[in-house]
Structure 1
Amino acid sequence: MNILISGGSGFLGSAFSQEIISRYQGNGKEVHITWLTRDKTQAHPSRVNMMTYDELAKTDNDFDVVLNLAGAGIADSRWSDERKEQLLASRVKPTESLLEYIAGSRTKPKLMVSGSAIGWYGTQGDKPLTESSGYETDFSHKLCNTWEQLALKATDYGVPVAIVRTGVVMHPEGGMLGKLMMPFKMGVGGQLGDGQQVMSWISREDWVGAVIFIIEQHVDSAIDSQVTQNNATKTSSDTPAVVYNLTAPNPVSNHTFTKTFGAWLHRPTFFTLPEFLLKLMFGEMSTLLIDGQKVLPQALQDAGYEFKQPILKQALEEQQ
């Protein structure tokens, strides 16, 4: 299997690459990974090929799967107008390059897996949200929806699309957990606001496992038609497109997360950052910290995926 990845060197793409190479070689299967990059001199595993976006526009290589993960971190800095434009461009431009490749390729990929986030649903408190739920319009929704709608244009060329809406990914090497390690280790970690906001999370191991599962369901076997129907999304063509929530089945409150994380690190969690201070510090971006989302992985579970780390305490304790 040949897999092309935008954002391959990132927190998720690198873990996916290492795991699928290890898993397939262990089963005697062949898998070849190619990372799209703007700089071929960047560090990468020896078993990963590198390709620039300019080379992609000219290549005759065929890929079975396209994994579209490129995008600047939504929580990396305050949402100024300039930052919002950067967040959008960092997703749109790589996706447009992939669509141009797909349009010109002689043998089309069997599947495009395109990143998104649970921010697509907007702020809806503790209301349970599945792939068939509606949304509230805010910046996070607009950003995710623009990215999703662009990726879905791959179906115009006969390429099925799986949209993966990712929750908070738990692993100390990066993401939210990586940013919180230092303050919590210093004993100054604490809950945000009243701590009642719901956090929809997933371990990095399960994120990787779920994406491999989705690829194998759609590429190597015929996915159950009823499951596909339940999480299908509208496109302008008859080519199938589906949505998966990549979240653990047991979301937690921020208070529970704080206490569980502190206990795992053997550190106190007495501090609280009040809501007004979070708004003052982060502006509009504070919604990511204050307003919860209870997003459930119904499509994954309906398709038969079994979570390896469904409980937060277990996910933290089993980090490697």
Structure 2
Amino acid sequence: MTVIVTGASGLLGSALVEALRADGVRVLRLVRRAPQSADESFWNPAKGLVDPAALSGAAAVVHLAGAGIGDRRWSDERKREIMRSRVEGTRTLAAALAALRSRPAVLLSASAVGYYGDTGDRAVDESAPPGEGFLAEVTRAWEAATAPAAEAGVRTVTLRTGLVLSREGGMLQRVLPIFKLGLGAPLGSGRQYWSWISVDDWVGAVRHLIAGRADGGGGDVGGPVNLTAPEPVTNAEFTSALARAVRRPAMPLAVPAPVLRAALGEFAREGVLTGQRVLPRRLLESGYAFRHIRLNEALSAVL
């Protein structure tokens, strides 16, 4: 069995590749540089270049490549790069899969809970309409770019991922030093919901969605799937839980919204000060059993 992975060097891609290889799966990584081993193949999404022979006969494709969302301020050029890197890469891959005679059974393409915009305290699942804002615009275009593969009969899943908890990278790695100094604090009002998932459950959910129904997986699931734990929390609750996990007090006063906007620019509004209360209805209905349902359990396992 061969699974093709883009974005394999990132936080999620590297964790997934390690788990798949431990299962005895052959992983072929698509890279945008000269291949350095037999398990790599070159592609250039900006130019629509990908080797059809590398894709042919694979059981599944997991597409995770895209420019980082929160690793730098959102200039107009950076926003164009965020959009372009997702849409061009997804369109290139989906079109290449559609043109194959021997197509993979499934394409799992990254997306994000930003699709829903700011949901306030309203819980939403995959049936909810898209929200407003730049991230919602990006995810709509990102998911729409998978259409050629879906129209060609490839089971296509868009992975609407929440905040992934891992000490190897992402938001948690960036804020841990602050919390270990006892300087962690709620952000803005602290009432915005953060829909999270442990990295172990993210990897487990992807493996579940790749597997066929006969193997106990979600082999008949297509369309959007929320990759979030069943119990989202507010930012204030997240702050308290993380402070307890590192055995340090949290600051009694929140970081004011104007300070966050000054430090982070436009990203602060959509990426920090608003949130989504997202439930993984389709994942649960497909039979996936979460390892970490409650935040304190997930943080203990991760840390």
TM-score (norm 1): 0.86
The code of the aligned residue for 1:190 comes to A
Q: What is the CA deviation profile of residues 200-247 of structure 1, one whole-angstrom value per residue up to 9, with x for unaligned ones? A: 00000000000101111469579587xx5xxxxxxxxxxxx4211000
Alignment RMSD: 2.1
Matched, 1:311 2:294: yes
C-alpha distance in 2, partners of 1:175/1:134? 27
What displacement does 1:74 show? 1.0
Determine the structure 2 residue equivalent to 1:88.
83
Matched, 1:110 2:105: yes
Matched, 1:152 2:152: no
What displacement does 1:126 show? 1.0
Q: Is 2:117–2:275's contact at 8 Å kept on the other side of the alignment?
A: no
Secondary structure, aligned partner of 1:209: helix
Structure 1 residue runs of 4 or more that deviate by more than 6 Å after TM superposition: none
Secondary structure, aligned partner of 2:5: strand
C-alpha distance in 1, partners of 2:191/2:34? 45
Residues 135 and 92 (structure 1), Cα distance of their counterparts in 2 relative to 1, 3 Å cut: closer
C-alpha distance in 2, partners of 1:221/1:275? 46
Determine the structure 1 residue equivalent to 2:42.
52
Determine the structure 1 residue equivalent to 2:233.
252
Determine the structure 2 residue equivalent to 1:78.
73
What displacement does 1:17 show? 1.1
Matched, 1:143 2:132: no
C-alpha distance in 2, partners of 1:208/1:224? 16
Determine the structure 1 residue equivalent to 2:180.
185
Determine the structure 2 residue equivalent to 1:14.
14
C-alpha distance in 2, partners of 1:159/1:58? 15
After TM superposition, the structure 1 = structure 2 runs for residues 1-320 of structure 1, keeping only pairs within 5 Å, are 1-22=1-22, 24-25=23-24, 31-40=25-34, 49-53=39-43, 56-57=50-51, 59=53, 61-217=56-212, 228=221, 241-270=222-251, 271-287=253-269, 288-319=271-302
C-alpha distance in 2, partners of 1:146/1:219? 33
The code of the aligned residue for 1:51 comes to S
C-alpha distance in 2, partners of 1:201/1:253? 10
Deviates more, 1:33-42 or 1:243-252: 33-42
| Unaligned ranges ≥5, structure 1 | 26-30, 229-240
Residues 64 and 131 (structure 1), Cα distance of their counterparts in 2 relative to 1, 3 Å cut: same
Q: Is 2:90–2:146's contact at 8 Å kept on the other side of the alignment?
A: yes
C-alpha distance in 1, partners of 2:29/2:95? 17
What displacement does 1:64 show? 1.2
Q: What is the CA deviation profile of residues 31-70 of structure 1, one whole-angstrom value per residue up to 9, with x for unaligned ones? A: 110111112467xxx8x81111168335254211011100
The code of the aligned residue for 2:282 comes to A
What displacement does 1:135 show? 2.3
C-alpha distance in 1, partners of 2:199/2:219? 26
C-alpha distance in 2, partners of 1:33/1:308? 24
Q: Is 1:57–1:100's contact at 8 Å kept on the other side of the alignment?
A: no
Residues 150 and 136 (structure 1), Cα distance of their counterparts in 2 relative to 1, 3 Å cut: same
Q: What is the CA deviation profile of residues 173-207 of structure 1, one whole-angstrom value per residue up to 9, with x for unaligned ones? A: 11110111122223222110121111100000000
Q: Is 2:209–2:217's contact at 8 Å kept on the other side of the alignment?
A: no
Residues 259 and 222 (structure 1), Cα distance of their counterparts in 2 relative to 1, 3 Å cut: closer
Residues 17 and 180 (structure 1), Cα distance of their counterparts in 2 relative to 1, 3 Å cut: same
Taking every aligned residue pair, what percent have the same amino acid on both sides?
A: 37
TM-score (norm 2): 0.91
Residues 267 and 278 (structure 1), Cα distance of their counterparts in 2 relative to 1, 3 Å cut: same
Q: Is 2:211–2:219's contact at 8 Å kept on the other side of the alignment?
A: no
